[in-house]
Amino acid sequence: MQDSDTIAVSPDVVAREVSGEMVLLDLESGMYFGLDAVGAFVWAKLAERAHTFGDLVDGVAAEYDAPRDRIETDLHALFADLSEKGLVVTGAEAA
Amino acid sequence: MGINEPCNNASSTSGGFVIDWSLATARVQEAMPDAPYDRWVSPAGVVMAEFYRSGDDFVVRFPGQADFTLRPDKTPGGFDVIAHLAPDCAEDAVRTLVNNAITPIIGNYHGGKFLHGSAVAISDITGAEDAGIAFLGLSRSGKTTLAGAFAKAGHPFVTEDVIDIDLHDRVYRLHPKPSGLRLFADSAQHLIGNNPRFEDRDRKQEVAAGAALPFARAPVPLRHIYILGPDHDAQLAIRRLSSSEALAAILPHAFILDVEDRSRLRAHFMRMADLTQTIACHTLDYRRDYAELPAVIEAILASFSAD
């Protein structure tokens, strides 16, 4: 994923923050998923509007004390997982 | 498939939520023209219920037992409920399905918080009012037997199959649903001990529990939810869940009529999220052995007191 790639939440997903974590319900499949605190932080930003991958990395770096390359790796994995499950849309779909 | 004139009318109440339903003449469960849009399947793979659309109606089929037609009436979200017994199915089975399936399905459709499980009222823990604890789990996970063991130890049943929760003055309450107890033969023998006659030891049967297993008479505040683990040989263990874990854990135990109605699904999700942010939820693992039940009760009461 490139810094300039746009990511947006899927319109089929409803999310609820509970005690600092996020639970996602995919209305299409009926499956639900949990996000930890960092995932919840990122999801909350995406819920406001679509962001580029680079924006999200910057946001996490500003919020959490972790090396940028570690953040990039973790977010790559996170969005690969979320995209595979249909919970986020990327690229042209997200614009 | 036609609808015969209803020949009987009845009501089923739950926490003030009333279902009016009518019993039409029995008929064969003919094949439906379309595939079901949803199914309830037991852990053993048995289809317990199938959900169909028929024009504006919903049809809920319990194979071998009854079909329920839910026909929208004039009230927003309201239904006329018409039950057709399958041939050779006893009328009592229909009443059980109305109480334990149709009522909570429609209740949640209307914004309720019905869950599949059992509950008991615990008294004298903190010296305060009675407190309710609920047990959720898959079919045949031991919910009713565990609740029965509590009742036998002096903590009355609130409900044995359908948990009816309301929010009253910002307190979640469990509503009593007194009923005959539906138990498997071995559980009935353990809890009641009068060796009731069972026609089929692989099916639950309603048994007269009498004073041995009392029911609560008034709503009690809900304090804890315990979700029974699937391993029937597990060591006894109780783990407190985070709110997010609890939300994911209780969602499968709700009653949903229309899994394709996104606005209702969304609203139901939010109601359950509110619940899990307030009510402590735990996983509960234990060996399904009647001899273990006293230790399980003791552990639950200890976890209850600790929170």
Phi then psi for B182, rounded to 5 degrees? -100, 110
pLDDT for B188 equals 77
Whether residue B243 and residue A32 make contact (CB cut-off 8 A), yes or no, is no
- B97 pLDDT exceeds 50? yes
Q: How far apart are CA B237 and CA B296, in angstroms?
A: 9
Whether residue B265 and residue A25 make contact (CB cut-off 8 A), yes or no, is yes
Number of other residues whose CB lies within 10 A of the CB of residue B278: 12
- B10 pLDDT exceeds 60? no
pTM of the model: 0.86
Contact status of B262 with chain A (Cβ, < 8 Å): yes
AA identity, residue B204: K
Whether residue A16 and residue B269 make contact (CB cut-off 8 A), yes or no, is yes
B2 burial type by CB count under 10 A (0-12 exposed, 13-18 middle, 19+ buried): exposed
ipTM above 0.85, yes or no: no
Contact status of B263 with chain A (Cβ, < 8 Å): no
pLDDT band at A20 (very low <50, low <70, confident <90, very high): confident
Q: How far apart are CA B232 and CA A28, in angstroms?
A: 33
Q: How close B252 gets to chain A, by Cα (Å)?
A: 10
A29 vs B contacts (CB less than 8 Å): none
Model confidence over A28-83: pLDDT tens digits?
888 889 898 899 999 999 999 999 999 999 999 999 988 999 999 999 999 999 99
A30 vs B contacts (CB less than 8 Å): 259, 265
- B219 pLDDT exceeds 90? yes
Mean pLDDT within B246-260: 93
Q: How close B184 gets to chain A, by Cα (Å)?
A: 32
Whether residue A23 and residue B244 make contact (CB cut-off 8 A), yes or no, is yes
Q: What percent of chain B shows pLDDT beyond 70?
A: 87
A9 and A24 Cβ atoms separated by less than 8 Å = no
pLDDT band at B150 (very low <50, low <70, confident <90, very high): very high
Cα dihedral B117, B123, B126, B131 in deg (nearest 10): 30
Q: How far apart are CA B102 and CA B94, in angstroms?
A: 10
Number of other residues whose CB lies within 10 A of the CB of residue B18: 11
pLDDT band at B258 (very low <50, low <70, confident <90, very high): very high
CA distances from B241 to A18, A94, B37 (A): 12, 34, 32
Residue with tokens 């998923």: A33
Which residues have CB under 8 Å from B205's CB, separation 6+? B182, B183, B184, B185, B188, B196, B198, B199
CB pairs under 8 A between A and B: 44
Whether residue B262 and residue A27 make contact (CB cut-off 8 A), yes or no, is yes
B297 and B284 Cβ atoms separated by less than 8 Å = no
Q: How close A35 gets to chain B, by Cα (Å)?
A: 9
Contact status of A27 with chain B (Cβ, < 8 Å): yes
Contact status of B305 with chain A (Cβ, < 8 Å): no
Mean pLDDT within B11-29: 76
- B195 pLDDT exceeds 70? no
- Among B276, B273, B267, B275, smallest CA distance to B108 is for B267
pLDDT band at B8 (very low <50, low <70, confident <90, very high): very low
Q: What share of chain A is helix, strand, coil (3-state, %, to 5)?
A: 45, 25, 30
Count H helices and E strands in chain A, helices first. Answer: 3, 6
Q: How far apart are CA B80 and CA B122, in angstroms?
A: 37
Nearest CA in chain A to B245: A34
Whether residue A25 and residue B244 make contact (CB cut-off 8 A), yes or no, is no
CA distances from B101 to B37, B83, B117 (A): 17, 13, 12
Nearest CA in chain A to B251: A32
In sequence order, what DSSP letters do the residues of B225-247 get, joined into one string? Answer: EEEE-S-TEEEEEEEEPPHHHHH
